[in-house]
Structure 1
Amino acid sequence: MQNEMDVHHNIERNIVKEIMRECYPKKIYPNENFVAYFIKLLLLDPNWGVTDDFVTSRENVAKFVAFVIRKLEDKNDPKLITLEMQFYFTCNLENINNVVKKNRGEILERLVRLKNEICRVNNPDSESDVDNIMKLIVFYITLVSGLGNPMENEVYLEALAAFKSVMNEEEVKEFMGFSLANKEAHLSQLVRVVGGIRLFNKSCDLGGAQILDLPTLLDQAVYSIKEEVQAVLKKIMDKVNVLTTIVDKSYVLDQEGDHGEFKMVCKLSNEEELNIEEIKDLLIFYRQCELFIRRVLEELQNIEDHSNDIYEGFQLTLKEIFQIVNVKIAVPARMVFPLFEVLSNKWTELQNQVMLLTRYSKIITNLIGFSKNVNFNKEQMDSILESTGPHTDAQRLQETANLRIKSLNPEVEVTKLQNFPNIDDIYLQYLGFCSWKLVKTKGGLIPGNPSMGVATYKKMNFVFSVPQACLEFSRNPEELVHEVLHLGRKKPHLINFLLIKGQLEGVADVAELTKVKGHVKLTQDKKIQTKYISRSKIDRNYYWNVWDLKRQALQLANLSKRKTVSTQTHKSHFINTVNTQTYEMRDKEIQTKKDNYTNVPKPSTFIFGLRGRRDDKQFTIDLTRPV
């Protein structure tokens, strides 16, 4: 199994290299990792014919590479921009927790030389060496804790005073004699303790140079970014409402058949159908934007809540320290130093929230950049809507709130929304979009209404926009699920949006997920007209049966082997004799071809002057006989 995965990975890597090589002459410069992401989605469809044997499937690979390059050339295609946006959010939003670790690691990596310089000194020779070591330690503590710039004199003196309250010169000399591992552990503890002392002094108005008021700044930044994100979300939802209304109005329900089956019929002309395909792709793009923006809003709210919890813990720790050191000349280090460390850790957590907030702000900026690359013609959309305005999702839900869905299949169980113990924990397939309309409109995203009921099939929950959709779904639910997967193969930007990648990987070896149904017509009325009436002709010697021809051939073959004799009786003497004459076959020769040949003279030359001459005047004599 592992070998197969390695082979498949090597094939994908080779295809990516070939695509990048072919893109360079065309002046296309895509991200190599994005190309790998794109082809992984495309190769979930086995109909491309790209197998593990790269040589035998070379022709299919060439077609696949050409297809990918054509898609990469159209930079304004909503489908390609949707995939690029999905790739960007997958790389940034999903792994955002690693941002803090990465930033902390970069800070420590930049200070490695400073730390090594502190740790390599074992026995300082003079007081100046001790002072130099203390200065290096103060610089290291201040930079790691992020509490100001130690190059500023005020910050340095404040940090030096906090450090001397923890370690004096004798203790510094003792510290220099520690092993390397003990020195590094002691330095890490000093960063927390000294940082906690400086934060405590700031709360007492006894210092705090260049220490920012992070709680206040965080509150202001979260509020500002949330306002910006909500403004972007409002603009996107306006476009989503327009596009959803156009798609919904372009298809109508039609009932046919003896069983009252429903189908979706597009009421647009051929030219308008081409436009509706682009509109559906635009709708997918803006729905994906909506999903990511709402995700960012949730994360911003989490940052705000978590920051408030951290700040509350910070205040409680400060209060506890005040209670210990209040009206006391000396306090045991074992009682107060752990609290200083807690105080420093709380402040570090607030700094981490600032890093996350900065990253989310950058994500929103890039999201706005993706939306600017998409061509949304508002005038064209308004002309398609004509006098009817766009409907919001809330209005659609209100229109069908009093309706109820029904099932024709015992395997499809319909449950009222009120009967679920916890509505928020219900996972709806395809993000709550109507799966039947999604298939019948070939990618139209129409929200379902859970208020009508939830249909459960094989532990999967489905919602629908109209009751008729549930009826059609219940006739053959398995087929509709496969049709959604087939749609994902044709529209790869739907795979991660609808969260069906895992299902497609499960059917990666199945070429045909759906069967095309042919409509058999039993009877049909037609009118015909003939230009003229032809006279009938009956051939008496015509045989339609091949065995009659064979029988006749055998009879003729038998006659050729018989001998003809004549007899005459008294009653038949009046019959006249018929004479026949035959000619025997004769042999004749015919010549149609004549063989002939020609002789050409043999080339012959003589070089005069090769022997007996002292000069270099040799020449060639042609002795060839003329023709």
Structure 2
Amino acid sequence: MDRISKIVADIIARCKYEGVEVSDTLAAFICRTAVQEDSNRFCLDGDVDSDGVAALTQRSVTSLLQKDSPSLETIKMQLDFDLCYVKHEEEVEKFRAAKAKKISNLHRSIVLLQPSGTGDFETLTTLYRQIFTLLMVHADAEKSGDRNIEREVAAALESVFPRIGLKSFVSMAPDDKKFQLKELASIVGGIRLFNKEIGKGGAGISLSLGPSHTIRDNVTSVSKLASEEVEEANQVCTEYTEVLLHIHHYNVKDNVTAERVKRWQEELNNKRQFLSYLQSLYEDIDVSTEKISRLTSSFDNELNTLKALVGSRTSLPKGQVYPVFEALAKAWDELEAEHQLLLARSRSIKSLMEFKDSFTRTLSPQSEWILKAKRAGMPPQEDWFEHSESENQPKNALGAVTRHEAKEGTADDSNGNDVPVRMSVDSTPEFMQLPLEYQGYCPWTIVQRGGLLLPGDPSLGVIQYKNAYHVFVNERALDEFMANPQLYVSAVHDFVVRKPELIYLLRLQESFPDTSMASLMKMTNNRTHVHPLLAPNAVQKVDAGTSTPIHFVEKNLDVNYEWNEWSLRRRAIKIANLRNYKTVSAQTTLSNFRKDVDQQVWLPTDNTTQTGHDKGTNPTKTITYFAGLRGTPSDKRASKYVDDDDEKESKDDDGRPAIVSYTFDL
């Protein structure tokens, strides 16, 4: 990693010493393409000696110090355009995200702010101020300090949502509060827009659809600029194509060298890349223009509705006018957002225009070769290259497909992806939506004509080979490709390795992942990080986890330590008892190879029992009660068990109650 970063830093330093400022992105890209061109010698994933590092650095510096090089300018344009395009888009998205975050935070604070009662004037005042701040954020005037904007927003707020309405607002549910805040912001914004249109306000609203026509003027100027540049670039590409076709078709050798033809093809590649970017931006601008036109019509309709409702009246029903204000504000927000995207694409066009004349054209519009090509006229497409032999015969490759193996079919043919299939308009319903390989350029001319980029003709048929769809300039190119498709696919890949500016022009990013510009866009501003273009392949990773115990075991503690003397006494008795134990072992003839088994037991303890003995006393029991309270029985009969003395006493009894006591010995 350190070696790679040092190589890039060395390349930048040496270029700076020569008076050429080179970005780390460009230096890393050139270094990576040099590695791909000679991967056997420069293997950054392995060990590279000092001579290899010096050679890699020198080759990269030589490529970067080229003067007036169309190939180098094409690479610079590719890097700069992709980075600038994403940068401008991210600026718009970043502004939107920051504004949305501020609004979300204010919504949260307003919802959570709850007064203690209706008499909590301090909290209610703070709540009203936060609502005012929210409206200022919606108006993009939070930090402007413009008193006119503050007065307009305050007046609109007091009109739509007076302070007396705070009592009902604080009693709402959180979701209802957020909904009310969104409606309030839209209504206040609609009021300010309406006041601007009638000339009674609208401070801070820079854009307009009124007399100045700011948005309409911007749309018209940007669309016109893109259209004119596309037309001009298309004309330049046509001139280069006519001259190169004239030279290749008629095999012209007088007054033109191979180096001059190669230079013209490099210039054509640069112009085609320039045209491709312009067309992409023009398509985006065209979509934005259509959307802005639709939003402008919607805005004008809502505005006219408001003017018809208001007229000369000073008051209107809220339920009738507020929805129109809200719709007006929403249409304006969408219109303003799309206008910001349009301006971002306009800045991308300005960045791209820096590469319009970044090198000296050797084929000027007044060149004699352009006049010759126009006088000779464009040859019929089916006769192209009939009078010339192929300049670069590709070497035979494995996996060649003979002519009789090729077949015709449709896009649904899934058997034999290695066999080319010729698809026509009649047999393929989605013919016009097929993603063409090499951005629609003919692979045969790239290989046979030294990198000449000519658009293929889909009407001849589309060749499906390995889930890729190829088009060709004529039947000859199509037939030769179908005879050996793998040969041409490999040859195009090898040619692009030597011409790295074609990687993104032909959209071969998947074939060259090390030069992916997506990784460039993710590059941070921290220069200490290794550039993704030069970073080695990622090492294999595995999932791993660690766990720690909740309670750590202290190693310095003696688990056998005892401080209690009774525990120590028990341990001493146990050790003393071990002296009286016997060790018994046995060994037989068959067990002499087995391990010794010892057994040690405690001595049996003395078992005793203890029973209880119940003992008690039984005292006498004396019972005392009154007798004769109900009188004596009339029939007095004497028991035969009564003694004579008792009988006498009973006779002497006069029948009065008496106290009787009995003593029982149990």
Which among 189, 192, 196 is matched to residue 195 of structure 1? Answer: 189
How many residue pairs align between the two structures?
481
CA contact 2:70–2:267 (8 Å) conserved in 1:
yes
Task: Note closer, same or farther for the CA distance 1:446–1:329 as it changes in structure 2 (3 Å cut).
Answer: closer
2:468 corresponding residue in structure 1: 460
CA contact 1:310–1:350 (8 Å) conserved in 2:
yes
Please say if 1:416 is aligned against 2:424: yes
1:346 corresponding residue in structure 2: 331
Quote the offset at 1:209 in angstroms: 4.5
What SS is found at the alignment partner of 1:370? coil
Quote the offset at 1:190 in angstroms: 5.0
Does 167-176 or 358-367 show the bigger shift? 167-176
2:248 corresponding residue in structure 1: 251
Please say if 1:383 is aligned against 2:368: yes
User: Gapped runs of 5+ residues in structure 2?
Assistant: 387-401, 407-418, 517-666
What SS is found at the alignment partner of 2:455? coil
Distance, in Å, in 2 between the alignment partners of 1:180 and 1:42 is 61
TM-score by length of 2: 0.60
Task: Note closer, same or farther for the CA distance 1:162–1:481 as it changes in structure 2 (3 Å cut).
Answer: same
2:551 corresponding residue in structure 1: none
What SS is found at the alignment partner of 1:492? coil
1:165 corresponding residue in structure 2: 159
1:256-312 per-position Cα deviation (integer Å, ceiling 9, x unaligned): xxxxxxxxxx65379711111111110000001111111111111100122233345
Distance, in Å, in 1 between the alignment partners of 2:6 and 2:495 is 27
CA contact 2:439–2:506 (8 Å) conserved in 1:
yes
Which among 265, 285, 292 is matched to residue 307 of structure 1? Answer: 292
Task: Note closer, same or farther for the CA distance 1:27–1:163 as it changes in structure 2 (3 Å cut).
Answer: same
CA contact 1:454–1:462 (8 Å) conserved in 2:
yes
RMSD: 4.8
CA contact 1:149–1:155 (8 Å) conserved in 2:
no
Distance, in Å, in 1 between the alignment partners of 2:60 and 2:237 is 28
Task: Note closer, same or farther for the CA distance 1:199–1:492 as it changes in structure 2 (3 Å cut).
Answer: same
AA aligned to 2:215 is: L
Distance, in Å, in 1 between the alignment partners of 2:515 and 2:139 is 52
User: Gapped runs of 5+ residues in structure 1?
Assistant: 1-6, 254-265, 509-627
1:489 corresponding residue in structure 2: 497
2:233 corresponding residue in structure 1: 236
Please say if 1:498 is aligned against 2:506: yes
Quote the offset at 1:84 in angstroms: 1.1
Task: Note closer, same or farther for the CA distance 1:61–1:78 as it changes in structure 2 (3 Å cut).
Answer: same
What SS is found at the alignment partner of 1:455? strand
Task: Note closer, same or farther for the CA distance 1:235–1:315 as it changes in structure 2 (3 Å cut).
Answer: closer
What SS is found at the alignment partner of 1:93? helix
Does 105-114 or 429-438 show the bigger shift? 105-114
Does 278-287 or 165-174 show the bigger shift? 165-174
CA contact 2:242–2:373 (8 Å) conserved in 1:
no
Task: Note closer, same or farther for the CA distance 1:289–1:466 as it changes in structure 2 (3 Å cut).
Answer: same
1:426 corresponding residue in structure 2: 434
1:61 corresponding residue in structure 2: 53
Please say if 1:365 is aligned against 2:359: no
Quote the offset at 1:83 in angstroms: 0.8
TM-score by length of 1: 0.63
1:213 corresponding residue in structure 2: 208
AA aligned to 2:329 is: S
CA contact 1:214–1:350 (8 Å) conserved in 2:
no
Distance, in Å, in 1 between the alignment partners of 2:33 and 2:179 is 47
Which among 280, 288, 296 is matched to residue 273 of structure 2? Answer: 288
CA contact 2:292–2:338 (8 Å) conserved in 1:
yes
Distance, in Å, in 2 between the alignment partners of 1:378 and 1:187 is 64
What SS is found at the alignment partner of 1:389? helix
Distance, in Å, in 2 between the alignment partners of 1:109 and 1:329 is 35
User: What does 1:608-623 align with in structure 2 at a 5 Å threshold?
Assistant: none
What SS is found at the alignment partner of 2:435? coil
Which of 1 and 2 has greater Rg? Answer: 2
User: What does 1:5-44 align with in structure 2 at a 5 Å threshold?
Assistant: 13-44=5-36
Task: Note closer, same or farther for the CA distance 1:190–1:88 as it changes in structure 2 (3 Å cut).
Answer: farther
Distance, in Å, in 2 between the alignment partners of 1:506 and 1:337 is 57
Please say if 1:91 is aligned against 2:83: yes
AA aligned to 1:480 is: Y
Which among 91, 103, 109 is matched to residue 95 of structure 2? Answer: 103
CA contact 2:458–2:471 (8 Å) conserved in 1:
yes
CA contact 2:462–2:470 (8 Å) conserved in 1:
yes
CA contact 1:192–1:340 (8 Å) conserved in 2:
yes
Quote the offset at 1:441 in angstroms: 1.6
Distance, in Å, in 2 between the alignment partners of 1:46 and 1:320 is 70
User: What does 1:393-412 align with in structure 2 at a 5 Å threshold?
Assistant: 409-410=405-406, 411-412=419-420
CA contact 1:428–1:461 (8 Å) conserved in 2:
yes
The alignment-based identity, stated in percent, is: 22
CA contact 1:248–1:446 (8 Å) conserved in 2:
no
Distance, in Å, in 1 between the alignment partners of 2:237 and 2:436 is 20
Which among 69, 82, 97 is matched to residue 77 of structure 1? Answer: 69
